[in-house]
Amino acid sequence: MRKKYLLLLSLAVAVMAGAQELKTIKLEAPDKSGGIPVFKAFAERKSSREFAEGSLKSKDLSTLLWAANGINRPDGKRTAPSAIDKRDVDIYALMSEGAYVYDPKAHALNPVAAGDYRASVSGGQEFTKAAPLILVLVSDLTRFNASPDDGTKLVGALDIGIVSQNISIACAGLGLATVPRGTMNQAELRAALKLKDTHYLGLNHPVGNMKK
């Protein structure tokens, strides 16, 4: 009886450990020819603070991340320009099961931490809690120089702004809802994403399907 109980207990622990373990998400190929024409996307771009229930289609997630800061040329350059081509902006993706960071080369989401950290971006704006996905834009300032200063911070912030606009336009093109936000609980997010002092945490984008 005791043996059976111990076996069941160890099985339960193994299942719980498995649930906490995040795996790399290999994204499917982005849809580089879909969506609406780019000038229609400019016409449609707006901040949306309401999200329909349900997660994003996997194709939309893939296309959105590629459009945000993916590789668009054989030499590895990106959809977003960056100062001195340092490609300093990393996109973290917060979803119900955990936090990931986008790897443009592998077109994959690499695990950062298991657990739901989406509440850390709300900063009192409750609408963010309805978003299935939150993209967090971080500039790794060490890609500019070993000891970042206010100048590098400014350049990192500029690069983040460009990735943010890519996200807004891509969402408009895909019919997704988003809003660029500076509000967030910096301390909580920095801890959750294991950021160093040399990471500049700039903006976040709650993303979801458009509420009809």
Residues within the interface to ligand FMN (CB under 6 A): 46-47, 49, 125, 179-183
Six-digit token string for 106: 């592998």
| CA 141/CA 153 separation, integer angstroms | 7
Minimum CB distance to ligand FMN smaller for 109 or for 167: 167
User: Minimum CB separation from ligand FMN for residue 124, in Å?
Assistant: 10
Minimum CB distance to ligand FMN smaller for 71 or for 157: 157
Minimum CB distance to ligand FMN smaller for 22 or for 89: 89
User: Minimum CB separation from ligand FMN for residue 114, in Å?
Assistant: 27
| CA 88/CA 146 separation, integer angstroms | 13
Backbone phi, psi, residue 93, to 5°: -115, 120
User: Minimum CB separation from ligand FMN for residue 183, in Å?
Assistant: 3
User: Minimum CB separation from ligand FMN for residue 200, in Å?
Assistant: 13
Three-state DSSP class for 181?
Answer: strand
Minimum CB distance to ligand FMN smaller for 142 or for 165: 165
Minimum CB distance to ligand FMN smaller for 125 or for 185: 125
Measured N-to-C along each axis, helices 150-174 and 58-69 cross at an angle, to the nearest 10 degrees, of 140
User: Minimum CB separation from ligand FMN for residue 181, in Å?
Assistant: 4
Three-state DSSP class for 114?
Answer: strand
Long-range contact pairs involving 166-170 (C-beta distance under 8 Å, separation at least 24)? 166/67, 166/68, 166/69, 166/79, 166/80, 167/64, 167/67, 167/68, 167/135, 167/205, 167/207, 168/45, 168/205, 169/38, 169/41, 169/42, 169/45, 169/67, 170/35, 170/41, 170/63, 170/64, 170/67, 170/68
User: Minimum CB separation from ligand FMN for residue 165, in Å?
Assistant: 9
Minimum CB distance to ligand FMN smaller for 81 or for 182: 182
